[in-house]
Amino acid sequence: MAEVLALVEARLRTALGEPDARASVTFLGTDRIEVLRFTDPGQEAGQETGQEAGRESGRDAGRTAGKGPGPGVVRYATLGMSASPMSDPTAALADPLKGPRAELVLTVRAGLADTDKVLRPLAVLAASPQVEGVVVAPGASLDVGEPLWPGAPFTSVLVAEPGGLVENLELDDPMEPVRFLPLLPMTGNEAAWKRVHGADALQEKWLSAGTDLRDPLRRSVPLD
């Protein structure tokens, strides 16, 4: 476990730079989950492009996350979720080596809200495979049941495709690679609409509307 997490942290540092803060949360009956904060001061006005922002996710909808110039961004990444593989809750016995491994990454614009309060909700989501026996995968919705940070219009996130901002981390066989899954905050209306129409349809809505998915105070995309 310690060796895997050391490799994961090294990959995060390579992709995102040095963390400027970290917090540790332990839930009863689970391993420790850490959340690392990486501050990116951003580029000068007019220099940030949609293609650059698209690195957040492997899908085209990720491009909308960085529409237009603005303040720098803050990235929060979990560390500890990948220590053990996620197992199918219907399996009779969990394999200690085989199974998907992941960490979560959330990016928001800096200075617009008290987003550091997201540390505990992120740790809750990262602990959900241990606590609830769920397998977190792209297209899934994750809900913490309360605002992600004070004043946030979001209680849930959409899990996006990996491989954009932080590349998958290959591990020795038979272990599967660690995937770094971007989280895209959803308003209540968006989460309800996604349950009916699916993740791809919601991401197309975001893309066609030019939604700034990094805005921590954004409103819901029109869903008519």
Place of tokens 């200075």: 111
Distance, in Å, from the CA atom of 95 to the CA atom of 86, rounded to the nearest integer, reads 9
Peptide bond into 182 cis (omega under 30): no
Task: Band the pLDDT of 62: cuts 50, 70, 90.
Answer: very low
Percent of the chain with pLDDT over 90: 72
Distance, in Å, from the CA atom of 18 to the CA atom of 31, rounded to the nearest integer, reads 24
Q: Where are the domains of the chain?
A: 2-209
pTM of the predicted protein model:
0.87
Task: Band the pLDDT of 64: cuts 50, 70, 90.
Answer: very low
Element (H, E) at 123: helix 119-132
- pLDDT over 60 at 30, yes or no: yes
Contacts of 201 (CB under 8 A, 6+ apart): 193, 194
C-alpha dihedral over 63, 8, 77, 164, to 10 degrees? 0
Pairing of strands 33-40, 141-143: unpaired
